[in-house]
Structure 1
Amino acid sequence: MQTYYGDLTTSNTRIPKERIVEAEEWHKTASLDWKEQRALNLIREALLAGRERYGAELKVVVSCSFGIDSMLTLHLVRRVSQELGISFDVVWNNTLNEYPQTRAYAKRMTEEWALNLIEARPTTTLRKIYEENGVDSLFKRKGDRSGGKGEKEPVVEKCCGALKHKPMKKAIKENGWHIMFNGVRAGESRQRWMSARRDGDLFYSSHTWKTWVCRPILWWTALSDSFNYGNNRQEDVWNYVRKHDMPYNEIYDMNAVIDDSYTGKDVVVDRVTAEYLVAKGYNVFMPRTGCMACPIPIKRGYLRYLRTTFPKVYRSMLFQLGFARVLIAEMPEDQRRELLDELNGFGIITEKTEEAVLDRLEDVIEWKPCVFDGVGVVKQRQKKSA
């Protein structure tokens, strides 16, 4: 298929919309082998165009969270860069709230793949952000503008801006990268799909990053995708990992079954088992890299996942960050009333108020650990099959 990337400049920043849609449609039915070849060709085209534009001054970077999508992208870029003899940096936006498994994996892969790693770090902390701004609704997503004109942005927006976007902009400015590769995929969310439709998989970011941005696996899919834009949702990502025997972050083998109908022995399962259970219709929380104690995935059952796998982080979210107060307030009224009646009946609290629950929260969690598991969770309506 024709790509039309050769016409791009820093003023003509994006290929025509119809060409973007054409690429999206092609990916919906293409095999993994064809997608892989197209991704390699795109990377090659971007690097050769960069060398033509910037010559020996060309500076290339792969943005890497040490999650599976960015590592897959890094694997693809390494293959092409070695072929062309073009070196590149790797930038890790280390929010300082990463899973311990991610930190260990980053150290290992930096050594094994001899990466020129640059860490972009924030100048503030997640806890300080919540102390300064308080906790608003935990169910507003990053980018939410529902507050209306004049109302403050959600705290998750402030958090991502301070811990991720600001450090990355600073790193790009200081290092002067001309091309940035990343592992963004359209199937991750509706917001990502809208961005994919707007920008395509290679464009010049004249507003945000002021550099060329290439997203080689933009239209690849995975079984765990939260948004289906009409694709076949085949398992491109993990099939590529297995095809090339790529080492991956241990966090991906720490999936938690958060389905009350599940009767299996192990609640925390590896990736293969998780994929099998999801295909059978069970609700399984499959973690991604990034900030621990982030409220964005709460709708997918993140609180239950943390309580099961990272209990210390779970308790920190409730007590140190103050999530408990908002969780109680955002319970459906009937559930909150039922909880207060239950706690009062068993003598855990003496008054049926939210303040009473907060005053005795340690006892409440001790008596009923699952108290917040279902708050805000979007229920899965899927049939279970043997």
Structure 2
Amino acid sequence: MLTYDSCPEELLKTISFKESMECLKWAYKEYGEEIVYACSFGAESSVLLHLISKIKPNARITFIDTSLHFKETYEILNEVKEKYPDFQINSIYTSMSLEDQANQYGENLWERNPNQCCQIRKIEPLKNELKKYKAWISGLRKSQSETRANIEYINMDHKFKTIKICPLIHWNWEEVWMYIKVHDLPYHELHDKGYPSIGCKVCTKPVTGDGDLRSGRWLNHQKTECGLHMD
């Protein structure tokens, strides 16, 4: 089994796959119950959930519930639970309530210091969750942004000291939606309302004009990533 502690990073670069299903089949054969899919329930998630269901119907899925999501995010979460009843879907939370966060850091921390807010409400909960596993799956794609252009199918995740697997790296936005439509998959309602990338409701706006897919996130801040995918 390839693990963060025992696998030379150069070895990862020698592993390649022809397509997403081959990558996922390898991942579940390699890690069995010691791999989890960290799902955000965006468009890429609709694709990955469907692919995973064909390989591992009772796969472990984790959702980072920041307590600041859109109501539509919880709605698609419930739809997914109905469509894939055998999935082991687990919502994880920070130990700090919104009230405690306001008391310690002031009201609306996401407006003044979004990095700190993401650290508390996203990064720390996932860090604690991933201690249970040897690897995790993410829906990152190379074409999403410049910060994601260099990801590979299998990556050494230095932030969480684990192996990160990204089966959709070569998919473009049009291919994601073609797959969703062909297979009539449930998807996040806000995608139809100008939200290509969906995070917390307090930090996500619709994209207008020629903005890239993540330009609606953290407006007025020099920030394009929540930090989960940055070493």
TM-score, structure 2 as length reference: 0.75
Contact 2:109 2:116 in 1 (8 A): no
Q: Quick one: distance in 2 between partners of 1:59 and 1:50?
A: 5
**Deviation string, structure 1 residues 13-69 (Cα, Å, up to 9, x no partner):** 35566x69xx7xxxxxxxxxxx9x710011111222225xxxxxx323111111111
Pairwise CA distance, 1:112: 2.4
Equivalents in 2 of 1:48, 1:294: separation in Å?
Answer: 38
User: Conserved in 2, the CA contact under 8 Å of 1:14 and 1:204?
Assistant: no
Aligned equivalent of 1:66: 41
> Amino acid of the residue matched to residue 132 of structure 1?
Y
Change (3 A) 1:16 1:212: closer
Higher helix share goes to which structure? 1
Cα deviation 1:72-120 (Å, max 9, x = unaligned): 11211111225xxxx4211000111111111112112113211211111
Shift in CA distance, 100/135, structure 1 to aligned 2, threshold 3 Å: closer
State yes or no: 1:47 paired with 2:22.
Answer: no
Letter in 1 for 2:8: N
Alpha-carbon contact 2:79-2:186 (below 8 Å) kept: no
Question: Which residue of structure 1 lines up, in the alignment, with residue 198 of structure 2?
Answer: 289
Find out whether 1:251 has 2:160 as its counterpart. no
Q: Is 2:76–2:188's contact at 8 Å kept on the other side of the alignment?
A: yes
Residue 121 of structure 1 is matched in structure 2 by 93
Query: What's the counterpart of residue 13 of structure 1?
Result: 9
Q: 1:38 to 1:157 in 2, by over 3 A?
A: same
Q: 3-state DSSP class of the match of 1:165?
A: helix
User: Judging changes above 3 Å, is the alpha-carbon distance between structure 1 residues 182 and 165 closer, same or farther for their aligned structure 2 residues?
Assistant: same
Structure 1: any 5+ residue segments left out of the alignment?
24-34, 52-57, 139-153, 223-234, 256-285, 302-322, 331-375, 377-386
CA distance in 1, matches of 2:109, 2:161: 32
Shift of 1:165: 0.6
- For the 8 Å contact 2:37–2:137, the answer to whether it is kept is yes
Aligned residues of 2:12 and 2:154 also touching (Cα < 8 A)? no
2:92 equivalent to 1:183: no
Residue 42 of structure 1 aligns to which amino acid in structure 2? C
* Aligned-partner Cα distance in 2 for 1:168–1:190: 23
Report the AA paired with residue 79 of structure 1. Answer: K
**Residue 203 in structure 1 maps to residue 155 in structure 2:** yes
TM-aligned CA deviation for residue 289 of structure 1: 2.4
Map 1:80-91 → 2, pairs under 5 A:
80-82=55-57, 87-91=58-62
**d(CA) in 2 for partners of 1:50, 1:16:** 15
Match of 1:334 in 2: none
Q: Residue 106 of structure 1: which of 69, 77, 89 is its match?
A: 77
Distance 1:40 1:92 in 2: 22
Write out per-residue CA displacement over residues 258-282 of structure 1, whole angstroms, 9 at most, x where no aligned residue.
Answer: xxxxxxxxxxxxxxxxxxxxxxxxx
Per-residue deviation, 1:135: 7.8
The 1:38/1:94 distance shift into structure 2, 3 A limit, reads same
Letter in 1 for 2:6: T
Identity %, equivalent residues: 22
Equivalence for 1:373 = none
Residue 214 of structure 1: CA displacement?
Answer: 1.0
1:244 CA displacement: 1.4
Asked if structure 1 preserves the Cα contact closer than 8 Å seen for 2:64 and 2:92, the reply is yes
The RMSD of aligned alpha carbons is 3.6
Distance 1:250 1:193 in 2: 27
Larger relative contact order (Cα-Cα within 8 Å, sequence gap ≥ 6): 2
How far apart in 2 are the matches of 1:109 and 1:293? 24
Distance change >3 Å, CA 137–CA 167, structure 1 → 2: closer
Change over 3 Å in CA distance of 1:92–1:135 after alignment to 2: closer
Instruction: Name the amino acid aligned to 1:89.
Output: R
Residue 95 of structure 2 corresponds to residue 95 of structure 1: no
Q: Which blocks of at least 5 consecutive residues in structure 2 are unaligned? A: 209-218, 223-231
Extract structure 1 runs of 4+ deviating beyond 4 A. 14-17, 133-138
Match of 1:78 in 2: 53
